[in-house]
């Protein structure tokens, strides 16, 4: 009899020597293909996808953020073929990630990305434009052109005598603000004018009359709403993630309710944590895919709380290490290392509160570190890591005594630092 877990495992028999033949991969059903791709390196993912006869359908099956971080890991230059296969909503997510720095629109990134979209060809642009907010298009154009004329407008002498660069309809007159981008902007406007004439007129009126700051605010609100639907919380909500919980009085709940404020089911944007940590063993023993959706939302919350660019894969990896580490510390502490107890805890208590407990244990170490001093180089390095906003573990305390820092990974790290601080405190 086949279990649910067996049905969701990739066909590992197709991986002799850790390799997967493209023909064998192409013969798999879609769900098995996706499961297998989650076990392979990013570039091998791309190779298998592009060699697949149903490459577009396979790409479209990715969550938008999952595809985005895959492309980020490969590099946008090398992943152009993947980007070309992206669906309109996936392309919109790319723009949501790339065209903004927190709440601020970034024109230079807009030039770059609208250039990428035009390289896909007119047919794809025609598919994508209806999925984009009109406000986003308007933000881009307000940076790119000046518009004169218009419906019912009497052209004044200044506009009549101005040497406009172009007009599509003898009604609106256009001058390009950046000559080096004139061809790109002109090509985009030509497609919009021919395929979406009402939108073209709306954009021309918007360039003439709308305030950039108001359009930017509205476009940012639409973007924030989409990100919330994908599991990225509001910044104010995210900021509460690092609130202190007293470890001495913490008691895990047993009645966890709904976790994610979104109707969409999300998978982790990067491969799930591998290895043999206590947390990984506990999660592997929980027969509930919702726990990984909750974990994904927790990672997203930490990313937003830290104000890290959501396009920064290195920041994502660092945050994931911290989230896994703090969860592992909290679970080991609460369960006494018993995996059955650990499974009961994660099914009854919110992962957010477990993370807060683990992080609070690090904050306690941080407070202790602030009270001790040392003239020793290595000791000072260890103290410096503990005093960081998010405390880091000094690798000189590891068995190999390497220099540098890493995230706290386990309760043993906390115990090592406690002993280290006790020794320093006793020396003074």
Taken as a whole, the chain contains a residue count of 428
Q: What is the DSSP letter of 9?
A: S
Counting beta carbons within 10 angstroms of the beta carbon of residue 249, is it exposed (0 to 12), middle (13 to 18) or buried (19 or more)? Answer: exposed
C-alpha closest to that of 208 among 278, 254, 132, 156: 156
Q: Taking 90 as the threshold, does the pLDDT of residue 27 lie above it?
A: no
What's the CA gap between 383 and 394, in Å, rounded? 8
What's the CA gap between 62 and 249, in Å, rounded? 42
200-221: pLDDT as tens digits? 999 999 999 999 999 999 999 9
Q: Give the confidence band of 157 by pLDDT, cuts at 50, 70, 90.
A: low
Contact present, 90 and 56 (Cβ < 8 Å): no
Over range 306-311, report the average pLDDT.
Answer: 72
DSSP secondary structure of 271-331: PPP-S--HHHHHHHT---THHHHHHHHHHHHHHHHTT--TT-HHHHHHHHHHHHHHHHHHH
- Looking from the CA of 229 toward its CB, the CA atoms found within 13 Å total 13
Q: What is the DSSP letter of 107?
A: H
Task: State the SS3 of 322-376.
Answer: HHHHHHHHHHHHHHCCCHHHHHHHHHHCCHHHHHHHHHHHHHHHHHHHCCCCCCC
Over range 252-260, report the average pLDDT.
Answer: 77
Has this prediction a pTM greater than 0.85?
Answer: no
Buried b (16+ CB within 10 A) or exposed e, 173-204: bbebeeeebbebbbebbebbbeebeebbbebb
Contact present, 203 and 136 (Cβ < 8 Å): no
Over range 238-243, report the average pLDDT.
Answer: 91
What's the CA gap between 85 and 83, in Å, rounded? 5
Over range 13-20, report the average pLDDT.
Answer: 47
What's the CA gap between 234 and 225, in Å, rounded? 9
Number of H helices, E strands in the chain: 23, 6
On average, the pLDDT of the chain sits at 86
C-alpha closest to that of 288 among 353, 230, 344, 241: 344
**Residue 23 C-alpha from the chain's centroid:** 32
Contact present, 270 and 63 (Cβ < 8 Å): no
What's the CA gap between 300 and 135, in Å, rounded? 26
347-370: pLDDT as tens digits? 999 999 999 999 999 999 999 999
């Amino acid at each position: 009899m086949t279990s649910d877990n067996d049905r969701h495992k990739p066909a590992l028999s197709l991986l002799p020597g850790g390799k997967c033949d493209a023909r064998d991969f192409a013969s798999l059903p879609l769900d098995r293909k996706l499961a297998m791709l989650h076990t392979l390196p990013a570039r091998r993912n791309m190779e298998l996808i592009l060699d697949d006869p149903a490459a577009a359908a396979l790409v479209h099956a990715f969550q938008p953020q999952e595809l985005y971080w895959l492309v980020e890991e490969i590099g946008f230059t090398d992943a152009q073929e993947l980007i070309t296969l992206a669906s309109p909503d996936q392309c919109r997510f790319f723009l949501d990630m790339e065209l903004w720095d927190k709440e601020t629109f970034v024109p230079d990134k807009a030039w770059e990305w609208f250039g990428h979209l035009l390289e896909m060809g007119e047919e794809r642009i025609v598919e994508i434009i209806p999925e984009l907010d009109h406000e986003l298009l308007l933000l881009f154009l307000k940076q790119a052109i000046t518009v004169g004329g218009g419906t019912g407008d009497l052209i004044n002498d200044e506009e009549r005598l101005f040497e406009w660069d172009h007009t599509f309809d003898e009604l609106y007159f256009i001058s390009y603000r950046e000559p080096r981008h004139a061809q790109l902007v002109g090509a985009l406007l030509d497609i919009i004018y021919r395929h979406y004439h009402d939108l073209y007129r709306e954009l021309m009126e918007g360039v003439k009359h709308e305030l950039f700051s108001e359009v930017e605010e509205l476009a940012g609100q639409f973007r924030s709403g989409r990100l919330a639907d994908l599991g990225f919380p509001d910044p104010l909500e995210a900021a509460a993630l690092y609130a202190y919980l007293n470890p001495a009085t913490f008691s895990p709940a047993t009645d966890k309710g709904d976790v994610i404020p979104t109707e969409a089911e999300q998978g982790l944007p990067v491969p799930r944590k591998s290895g043999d940590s206590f947390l990984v063993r506990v999660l592997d023993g929980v027969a509930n895919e919702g726990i990984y959706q909750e974990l994904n939302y927790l990672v997203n919350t930490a990313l937003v709380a830290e104000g890290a660019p959501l396009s920064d894969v290195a920041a994502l990896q660092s945050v994931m290490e911290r989230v896994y580490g703090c969860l592992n510390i909290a679970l080991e502490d609460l369960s006494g290392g018993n995996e059955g107890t650990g499974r009961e805890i994660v099914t009854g208590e919110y992962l957010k509160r477990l993370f807060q407990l683990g992080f609070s244990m690090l904050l306690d170490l941080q407070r202790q570190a602030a009270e001790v001093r040392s003239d020793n180089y290595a000791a000072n390095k260890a103290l410096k890591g503990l005093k960081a906003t998010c405390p880091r573990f000094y690798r000189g305390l590891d068995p190999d005594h390497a220099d540098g820092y890493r995230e706290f990974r386990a309760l043993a790290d906390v115990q090592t630092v406690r002993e280290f601080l006790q020794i320093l405190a006793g020396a003074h």
